């Protein structure tokens, strides 16, 4: 919600007036100097929306404020030119309304359009979150990243490396929404103060690494040539893409990283297809390149890649993982009920490469149980299991 600066206003005053942590207001207005606010400038108040209200007979600002559990001055700030003593019937004003409900409704077929619509809505309510693009997919879709906080502990989560594991995206987006909402409402999640986590961490989330593939699974072949024909050919003529893991070019994005890539190449398909083709070389695909560049630039303390299915957490690679990884995965297991597995005969994955090149904790979390794509009937259970891992990834 936007308000206008008056003479004598300060971020500290806004924090008290709207009951929003001062740091969130500062971080929502990074282009403003907190010590030199200019009269007439716009300030963003996170966690609020300005809701239209039409004046009725007998209304006063004091009555409206009391009924909405806000202060009159909050109404005046949201309505720059309002005359508090000159309201008239039918006049439209803006009423600051605290957001206490989820914007993200993840229990649905969650394609790229759903993701981008939810990001736009979350950004408008929680402007302390930044949403840069880390790169583009084969079909030119921007791959968004959510950035929350500037703490020293740099944590990264990602989802939907594999197209038919798209349910990881709404699970991550639901957590993102709950985290943002708890911050502005100064509430806890499972007894943990989110504001403490915010000040300690810098959280990066890429909820949909493979947008072209997700759309293929959910919506069918794209209109773009030559991919609309090629994907059907690679899928053996079938229009059922529920088994498709790869990107739109038929490359498995989680077999794209230079961590014993040659071993993975030697045992997998040699041509593009729905799954397991590693590409012509490591990091040949723009989505994988974007993830590699992001990881190099952000210098993450730890990474968690969310996949489906199996209710297991893989945490090792070639015995290169640091000692603290075992303690961390045991905590993840405790809060989720998932089984820790140090390693399997698998190479070239994102967490493999991270462990190999950084010698820091990296994890692949396999959410849920069954056959991919997992049914939405599992969504609530998966989210409750994953929530403990999301939180532990921040507090450990």
Q: What is the pLDDT along the chain (396 residues), one digit of tens a residue?
A: 999 999 999 999 999 999 999 999 999 999 999 999 999 999 999 999 999 999 999 999 999 999 999 999 999 999 988 999 999 999 999 999 999 999 999 999 999 999 999 999 999 999 999 999 999 999 999 999 999 999 999 999 999 999 999 999 999 999 999 999 999 999 999 999 999 999 999 999 999 999 999 999 999 999 999 999 999 999 999 999 999 999 999 999 999 999 999 999 999 999 999 999 999 999 999 999 999 999 999 999 999 999 999 999 999 999 999 999 999 999 999 999 999 999 888 899 999 999 999 999 999 999 999 999 999 999 999 999 999 999 999 999
Nearest to 115 by CA among 184, 179, 166, 155: 166
Say whether the peptide bond before residue 348 is cis (omega within 30 degrees of 0). no
Global pTM value:
0.97
CA angle (345, 275, 316) in 5-degree steps: 25
Nearest to 37 by CA among 2, 76, 10: 10
Give the active site residue among 14, 347, 350, 383.
Answer: 347
> CATH assignment of 2-98?
3.10.350.10
Q: Name the residue ranges covered by the structural domains of the chain.
A: 2-98, 112-212+283-395
> CATH assignment of 112-212+283-395?
3.40.630.10
Indicate if 338 belongs to the active site. no
> For residue 203, what are the CA distances in angstroms to 156, 168, 189, 222, 353?
6, 17, 16, 33, 20
Give the active site residue among 264, 287, 321, 366.
Answer: 366
pLDDT for residue 344: 85
Q: What share of the chain is helix, strand, coil (3-state, %, to 5)?
A: 40, 15, 45
Farthest CA pair distance, the chain:
79
pLDDT for residue 336: 98
Indicate if 347 belongs to the active site. yes
CA angle (81, 86, 92) in 5-degree steps: 60
């Amino acid at each position: 919600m936007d308000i206008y600066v008056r003479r004598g206003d300060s971020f500290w005053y806004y924090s008290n007036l709207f009951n929003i942590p001062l740091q969130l207001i500062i971080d929502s207005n990074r282009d403003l100097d907190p010590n030199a606010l200019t009269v007439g400038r716009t300030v963003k108040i996170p966690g609020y929306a300005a809701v239209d209200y039409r004046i009725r007979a007998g209304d006063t600002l004091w009555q409206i404020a009391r009924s909405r559990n806000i202060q009159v001055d909050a109404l005046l700030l949201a309505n720059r030119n309002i005359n508090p003593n000159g309201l008239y019937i039918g006049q439209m004003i803006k009423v600051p309304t605290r957001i206490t409900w989820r914007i993200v409704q993840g229990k649905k077929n969650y394609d790229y359009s759903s993701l981008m619509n939810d990001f736009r809505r979350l950004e408008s309510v929680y402007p302390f979150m930044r949403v840069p693009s880390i790169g583009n997919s084969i079909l030119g879709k921007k791959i968004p990243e959510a950035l929350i906080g500037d703490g020293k502990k740099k944590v990264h989560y990602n989802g939907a490396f594999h197209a038919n594991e798209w349910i990881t995206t709404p699970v991550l987006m639901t957590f993102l929404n709950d985290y943002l909402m708890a911050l502005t409402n100064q509430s806890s999640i499972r007894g943990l103060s989110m504001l403490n986590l915010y000040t300690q961490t810098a959280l990066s989330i890429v909820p949909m690494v493979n947008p072209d593939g997700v759309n293929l699974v959910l919506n069918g072949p794209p209109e773009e040539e030559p991919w609309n024909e090629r994907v059907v050919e690679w899928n053996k003529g079938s229009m059922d893409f529920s088994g498709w893991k790869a990107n739109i070019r038929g490359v498995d994005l989680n077999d794209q990283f230079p961590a014993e890539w040659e071993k993975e190449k030697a045992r997998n398909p040699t041509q593009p297809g729905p799954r397991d083709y590693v590409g012509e070389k490591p990091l040949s695909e723009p989505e994988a390149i974007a993830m590699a560049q992001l990881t190099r630039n952000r210098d993450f303390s730890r990474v968690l890649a969310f996949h489906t299915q199996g209710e297991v957490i893989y945490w090792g690679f070639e015995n290169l993982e640091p000692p603290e990884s075992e303690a961390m995965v045991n905590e993840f297991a405790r809060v989720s009920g998932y089984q820790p597995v140090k390693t399997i005969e698998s190479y070239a994955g994102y967490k493999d490469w991270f462990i190999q090149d950084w010698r820091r904790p990296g994890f692949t979390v396999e959410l849920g149980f069954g056959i991919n794509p997992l049914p939405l009937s599992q969504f609530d259970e998966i989210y409750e299991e994953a929530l403990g891992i999301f939180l532990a990834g921040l507090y450990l």
